[in-house]
Amino acid sequence: MRRAGVPIAFSQGFTPHPKISYASAAPTGVASEAEYLEIGLREPVDPEQLRAALDAALSPGLDVLDAVIAASGSLADRIEASHWRIELPEVEPAVLEAAVAAFTAADEIQVERMTKQGRRTFDARAAVMRIDVVPPAETPSGVPDSSCAILELVVRQVTPSVRPDDVLSGLRVVADLVPPVSPRVIRLAQGTLTAQGAIVDPLDADRDGATIGEH
C-alpha cells in the first residue's frame, strides 16, 4: 500500500492497524482468479487511479482488475459461494467419475481438519452445491491429456468453511481416492448466488463510477 501511495486509513487505539479486510481469502498454496478485499481510505481517490497504482506496485502475476466505491453492506456478506477447479494429474477421469458418484450419493461425509480452534470433524458434503468431472485439459499439441482428471465444484460459504482439500478428503472417505501427486487447485470465481445457482461478481452492485472515499 505504501509503495502504491494509497492513503489508507488506520484504526484507533494504542495499536492502530490498516483498515484492510479480505473476503474469504483462498487457502495458502491455492491459486485464484477471484480474490476481493476492502480498503478504508483517509481521503477520496479515483477508483481507476487506485487500481492502476496497486497493480503497478505488485509483483508480476498479481493483477488488480477493478476497484469500486463500496456501497452499503459488508463485502463479506456478499460472498456466498466459490467455484473451484481441481486438476488431478495421474488420475484417470473414469476413476474420478466413480468417486464423484459416491460423493454425490452420500447424505453426509465427515472429514477432519486442523483449524485455529484445534482439530475439527465436520460434514464436507452439504456445502457442495455442484461437483462435476470435466473433459481433460488439452496439451500444447492439442491432444487431450487423459492422464489428468479435472474436477469443478461450487461450494457454499459455511462455517467452518469447506475447502477444496476437504472435498478431496471426502472423496478419499467414500471412494478411497488418493491422488498420487499433489492436486493443482484454482479458484475461478466467488460471489453472490443467484436462484439458478450461478455466481455473480460481488462488486457488480458497486460499479457506478463514484469516487472512492466519498460519502
Q: Could you give the CA distance from residue 194 to residue 127 in angstroms, rounded to a whole number?
A: 16
Instruction: Calculate the average pLDDT of the chain.
Output: 88
Dihedral (CA of 71, 77, 78, 83) sign: positive
Q: Specify the pLDDT at position 117.
A: 79
Q: Specify the pLDDT at position 139.
A: 45
Type of residue at 145? D
Residue located via cell numbers 460519502: 215
pLDDT for 206 beyond 90:
no
pTM: 0.86
* Residues β-bridged to residue 30: none
**SS3 for 198-210, per residue?**
CEECCCHHHCCCC
Q: Could you give the CA distance from residue 27 to residue 145 in angstroms, rounded to a whole number?
A: 27
Q: What pLDDT, in 10s, does the model give residues 103-121?
A: 999 999 999 998 877 889 9
Q: Specify the pLDDT at position 80.
A: 94
Residue located via cell numbers 476481493: 36
Confidence class for position 208, pLDDT limits 50, 70, 90:
low
Mean pLDDT throughout 110-133? 92
Provide the 10 A C-beta neighbour count for residue 27. 13
Confidence class for position 24, pLDDT limits 50, 70, 90:
confident
pLDDT for 14 beyond 60:
yes
Q: 160-195 burial string, b = 16+ CB within 10 Å, else e?
A: ebbbbbbbbbbbebbbebebeeebebbbebbbbbee
Confidence class for position 214, pLDDT limits 50, 70, 90:
very low
pLDDT for 71 beyond 90:
no
Relative orientation angle of helices 93-105 and 164-175, to the nearest 10 degrees: 90
Give the residue from 139, 163, 23, 160 showing the smallest Cα distance to 84.
Answer: 163
Dihedral (CA of 47, 51, 52, 57) sign: positive
Residue located via cell numbers 475461478: 188
Q: Which of 22-26, 188-192, 208-212 bottoms out in mean pLDDT, i.e. has the lowest?
A: 208-212
Q: Specify the pLDDT at position 15.
A: 92
Q: What pLDDT, in 10s, does the model give residues 137-190?
A: 554 444 455 578 999 999 999 988 999 999 999 999 999 999 999 999 999 999
Express as a percent the part of the chain with pLDDT over 70: 92
Could you please report the per-residue DSSP string of 155-209?
Answer: EE--SS---HHHHHHHHHHHH----SS--EEEEEEEEEEPTTS-EE-TTGGG-S-
Domains delineated in the chain:
77-193 (3.30.70)
